[in-house]
Structure 1
Amino acid sequence: MKHQVSLIQGDLKRAIVIFAIPLFFSQLFQTLYNTMDTVIIGHVLGDFSLAAVGAVASLFELIVGFCTGFGQGLGVIAAQKFGAGNMKGFRRVAGLSIELSLVVSFVLAIVAGLNMETILNFMHTSSDIFDLSYSYIIVICWGLPITIFYNLCAGMLRAAGDSITPLVILLISSVTNIVLDLLFITTFNMGVAGTAWATLLAQLLSLVICVIWMLLKKRELLPSLSEMKWDSTLARHLTEMGLSMAFMSSIVSAGTLILQIGINQLGTLIVTGHTAARKLVGMLNLPVIALMQALSSFVAQNIGAQQYERAEKGIAFVNRFGLYYSILLSVIVMFVARYLIAMISGSTTDVVLDTGALYLRTNIPFFPVLAVLLDLRISLQSMSLKIVPIISSVIELVGKIIFTLFIVPTAGYLGICFTEPVVWIAMCLFLGYFYLRNRLFKENKIATHIFR
């Protein structure tokens, strides 16, 4: 099929990199329009509006992360079917995924939307930005069905080895999002709510284009009505995998949400600097994230094809890349951290710039650890091993709770900065221990390595 990369044949390094390149640009454009939100809000609406969005950034990550994680879990099963050459099984997975996603997205949207004020109060959202934060996040909540169905469509294409089509669609969406941002904020004076509406409408456009493309060019991936027939056994398997990855993502985001509560109590300017730094960290980590996403499909397809040694070698290769990239990035950022914060936030306030620079300089040197833990966690999930990745996420949640309750009140923002590096080390050690003793590889006499 056009645009399809074989992940189960040929040179594995080349296959992973080629598959990851469109994923990188997909993440880049997605991060770009998210960052443009920050730039436009910071430069046009000012520090308080930027703080309003930053105050609910972790909540945004939690809600959207749950939907994205659920879709990724469904995509793992689809990729395993595709790797095994079972196209009928692939379509049955796609059909049931549509039904399950419909239920999950609407339930989540209603529950989150109806309880949003209570959630923001629980987060100790400052009164001077409360209404702004609410106007932004409530739009995101009501649009969750759109978010989850776009990610489902794109995920099914990637599960079948096509990472280029989602990139093209996302590029169109990104440009649309930026144009709508400028239109809604500068022309229609919609404030931060305009940013949320721009994001939602851009995702709707992505969903429509993705569905039309599959109808015209990828009909072999679409289920017939008979293939959408309810299958309790398959539905349970899909639900378990989908919820496993969704809860894994949500637990991680819940830890960040707890940490955000501590940040929100440090003042609006601290929140502003932290928001800008988090946006930068997300952008600088894109190559690692793209390879991690490619690794998910690579491992799932090769496990489905029973090519266990190829899967293990691919994991070690991606770990090495993450290590080298992270070391280089750490050296560069040390010298330009404050300038980057100024560029993103549009602020000239020393507190904002110093806060963001401190976060970058304390977190980025630990990116090698983050890269390995992300790769190992997604690899274990792609082997349908659900419990260990979830436990690793619980470690992160507990660690962030401990820091928020006991370290941050004494150490202040410096305690915030060192929370994630400490948690990353603990998670990496935990995942590394179980990965090296992975039962699936041991049963097939495959020697496991972190870097090989």
Structure 2
Amino acid sequence: MRLKLNKSKMPFSTPLLFTDKDLMKIFIPLIIEQILASLIGLSDSIMAASIGESAVSAVSLVEMIMLLLISLFAALAMGGTVIVGQYLGKKQENQAREASNQLVWFAGAAGLVIMIFIYLFKSFILDILFGNITDEVYNYANTYLLIIGASIPFLALYNAGAAIFRTMGNSKLPMKIMLAMNILNIAGNVLFIYGFNMGIAGIAIPTLISRIGAAVCILIHLTNPKQILHLNKTVKHKFNSMMIKQIMRIGVPYGIENGIFYFGRLLILSLVSTFGTAAIAANSVGSTITSLQALPGMAIGLGMSIVISRCVGAGDFTQARYYTKKILGIIFVAQIVSSVVSLALFPSILSIYNFSAEATQWTTEIVWSHAIVMILIWPFGNALPSVFRAAGDAKYPMLVSMITMFCCRIMFAYILVYLFEMGMFATWIAIYCDWLIKGGLFIWRYLNGKWTTFQATELNGRKAE
């Protein structure tokens, strides 16, 4: 996009790279897009409720795997966003365009490989990873995974394409595509479940179709040569090892970080499953609602990567610090709004599921505690790392997240559950401890300035200056 220069008096030697209007053009469509993306999982969960509690549990278990894969593709897209953004900050549009092409092709290839892997190890995932589940939950999960697994390459392509458009400053197009994707998914659910009485398959098929449509749509738009960043119209592609290494230098640490995060969630889910189907269902619905609470912060964090990478590419760390503080403030406000809205709507949402008294109590505890703790500490532990990655400092947040995941989220959860016998809610207490420690370590990293010594892009095989 063409950046508008803010000529107001500011403590910078150069005009601001982004005006408030520019930031809102990035953040608001991103928030809406991420809400729409989350509503797909929520709508599937609600539709599953019409089948039964076992179907809700099955969908939640498989969606945990899909969330892991989506996070890996988001990590790869983040790597591409940082590299492309830094090239644009250096005003090197040809390199930015080449990096965009490499990102899309590599993401598609990675998605295809992961899909094959999922089908090969489907039995392991269901038998070992999900732990103690009933036969009914197992059968539902098997059917759902069998169908939804085919959408993996298309998820990868959509994430890569959406990241490129956001880097160009066009967050509206991915938002519009996600809106169409939601409408198609919900309409398909109603048709296949209530019209054709297809059960769990009627939930999975529309999701598969909508994800294929989203990927195809965004790729078609990416082939427009009038855009600064566009795909070359060719079926033959030569992978550029240097570009891919640059993308992977950011994407791999972030992908490992996300992978460990969701692996930890799966281990915790196995712990939750020992409390029975009611606990699994409560944890599923609670996780869905809490993800909506945190969603504005996550969306703005994606936009933060675009802003900070452009500042880093331009070599202006004064502006990078300015935007970090400004955007963190925006995130705090957004989290307060999302929490208030979610708590106001919570009774209506919960009434849809017709849960038992036990499941209702657990879900209520999860949603209320998450809202309170998130408002206080979430941005420091979950949004601030976006600044480091945008500057090329991707390993530090990975290492911190891995350590706190195993020491706080997993070990502490098992200690609270088995040693102190605190019940299923203890797993969420462990999550909040994880946020607190991560937040402190990330604040320390930001203040010591070590993150400003990294540069992600390379030119002619050497570090860019």
Q: TM-score, normalised by structure 2?
A: 0.87
Give the C-alpha shift of residue 167 in structure 1.
1.0
Change (3 A) 1:6 1:207: farther
Report the counterpart of residue 181 of structure 1 in structure 2: 189
Q: 2:26 touches 2:171 (CA, 8 Å); kept in 1?
A: yes
- Counterpart selection for 2:358 from 338, 351, 360: 351
Is the contact made by 1:30 and 1:170 (CA closer than 8 Å) also made in structure 2?
Answer: yes
Matched, 1:69 2:83: no
Output aligned runs, 1:23-422, within 5 Å: 23-42=30-49, 44-122=50-128, 123-127=130-134, 128-216=136-224, 218-224=226-232, 229-327=238-336, 339-343=347-351, 345-367=352-374, 368-398=376-406, 399-409=408-418, 410-422=421-433
- Structure 1 pair 443/69, CA: closer, same or farther in 2 (3 Å)? closer
When residues 5 and 283 of structure 1 are mapped into structure 2, their CA distance, relative to the original with a 3 A threshold, is farther
Q: Which of 432, 446, 450 lines up with 1:435 in the alignment?
A: 446
CA contact (8 A) 1:140 1:200 kept: yes
Distance 1:100 1:213, change over 3 A: closer
More helix by share: 1
SS in 2 for 1:254: helix
List gaps (5 residues or longer) in structure 1.
Answer: 445-452
Aligned to 2:459: none
The whole-number CA distance in structure 2 between the counterparts of 1:203 and 1:264 is 29
CA–CA separation in structure 1 for the residues paired with 2:249 and 2:445? 21
Higher relative contact order by CA 8 Å / sep ≥ 6: 1 or 2? 1
For the structure 1 residues 69 and 139, does the alpha-carbon distance in structure 2 shift closer, same or farther, using more than 3 Å as the test?
farther
The alignment partner of 1:45 has SS state of coil
Q: Report the AA paired with residue 214 of structure 2.
A: S
Deviates more, 1:371-380 or 1:51-60: 51-60
Per-residue CA shift, 1:269-297, capped at 9, x if unaligned? Answer: 11111211111111122221221111111
Amino acid across the alignment from 1:50: V
Alpha-carbon distance in 1 for matches of 2:448, 2:149: 40
In angstroms, what is the RMSD of aligned CA positions? 2.6
The answer as to whether partners of 2:58 and 2:141 remain within 8 angstroms in 1 is yes
Secondary structure of 2:131 counterpart: coil
Once the 2 structures are TM-superposed, how far is the Cα of residue 137 of structure 1 from its aligned partner?
A: 2.4
The answer to whether the 8 Å contact 2:55/2:137 transfers is yes
Cα distance in 1, alignment partners of residues 72 and 452 from structure 2 = 29
Q: What's the CA shift string for 1:247-284, capped at 9, x where partnerless? A: 12111111111111111111101111121111111112
Partners of 2:228 and 2:303 lie apart in 1 by 22
Unaligned runs of 5+ in 2: 6-14, 456-465
Q: Is the 8 A contact 1:109 1:141 kept in 2?
A: yes
Shift of 1:443: 9.8
Q: What SS class does the counterpart of residue 413 from structure 1 fall into?
A: coil
Cα deviation for residue 147 of structure 1 reads 0.6
TM norm structure 1:
0.90
Q: 1:5 to 1:268 in 2, by over 3 A?
A: farther
Preserved contact between residue 338 and residue 356 of structure 1 (Cα < 8 Å)? no
Does the CA-based 8 Å contact 1:23-1:163 persist in structure 2? yes
Match of 1:447 in 2: none
Maintained 8 Å contact 1:75/1:155? yes
> Structure 1 residues 151, 432: CA separation in 2 closer, same or farther (over 3 Å shift)?
same
Q: Which amino acid aligns with 2:117?
A: V
Task: Return closer, same or farther for 1:443/1:298 CA change in 2, 3 Å cut-off.
Answer: closer
Q: Deviations over 1:292-347 (max 9, x none)?
A: 1111111111111222111111111122233344456667767x58615524x521
Shift in Å, 1:390:
0.6
For residue 162 of structure 2, what is the amino acid of its counterpart? A
Give the deviation of 1:67 after TM superposition.
1.9
Preserved CA contact (<8 Å) 2:4 2:18: no
Are the equivalent residues in 2 in contact too, given 1:82–1:159 (CA < 8 A)? Answer: no
Paired with 1:17 and 1:84, the residues of 2 have a C-alpha distance of: 23
Kindly indicate whether the alpha-carbon contact (under 8 Å) linking 2:89 and 2:311 is maintained by their aligned counterparts in 1: yes
Letter in 2 for 1:184: F
Cα offset, 1:216, TM superposition: 3.8
* Percent identity over paired residues: 19
Distance in 2, matches of 1:62 and 1:230, equals 26
- 2:266 is paired with a residue of what secondary structure? helix
Change (3 A) 1:80 1:273: same
1:361 deviates by: 2.1
SS at match of 1:143: helix
Offset from partner CA, 1:50-104 (integer Å, 9 cap, x none): 1111233332221221122212222221121122221100111022223322332
State the alpha-carbon separation in 2 of the partners of residues 362 and 268 from structure 1: 22
**2:77/2:159 contact within 8 Å kept:** yes
Residues 441, 338 of structure 1: alpha-carbon distance in 2 compared, 3 angstrom cutoff: closer
Give the Å deviation of 1:231.
3.0
